[in-house]
Amino acid sequence: MIKQPILPTILALCLAALIPLSAHGEARELEWLELMPEEEFNAWLEESAEIDHSGFSMPEPFQSFRTMPELDGVEARIPGFVVPIETDGRGNLKEFFLVPYFGACIHVPPPPANQIIYGRLKEPIPMVNIWDAFWMEGTLNVEDISNDTAASAYTMDVTRLELY
């Protein structure tokens, strides 16, 4: 004779077994502004309102390397546009910047470093169309990278790059 009701115990065990399945392998979907402290966003917005896009003057770009340390090491997913940086000997994409809008890093001024992610693919992939938006997924790291194209305050070890 069973003294405790067995159904609640079975349900509890089933729920406990499902929790790891739902949490495992899911990347946190990020918005670009989550990568920037709020006071930095306000400063960037204020300064950006004064930019002259006529092409007659060269504006001083707003720059910020201030990051959100709690995002370091997070499995994340974020949409953006690819700016190719490095290819293998066959023209396949190896490393790139992911930027929040089309034309960033080509158009003046570029986004601040905390609005650019340097992506590193484990295995090179065929070159992508830079006019297309992509989802980038992988481990986000707080790490400064700078080259002739731009500066980034984040990197990502990319596990997936797919069309948006």
Residue located via tokens 């004779």 = 1
CA distance 78 to 135: 6
Whether CATH 2.40.50.870 fits 28-163: yes
**Assigned token pair, 28:** 């946190």
Residue 30: the pLDDT is: 98
Residue 98: the pLDDT is: 97
pLDDT by position in tens, the chain (length 164):
445 444 343 333 333 433 333 344 699 999 999 999 998 888 878 877 665 656 666 567 788 999 999 999 999 999 999 999 999 999 999 999 999 999 876 665 678 999 999 999 999 999 999 999 999 999 999 999 999 889 999 999 999 999 99
pTM of the model: 0.77
Beta bridge partners of 96: 84, 119
Residue 41: the pLDDT is: 84
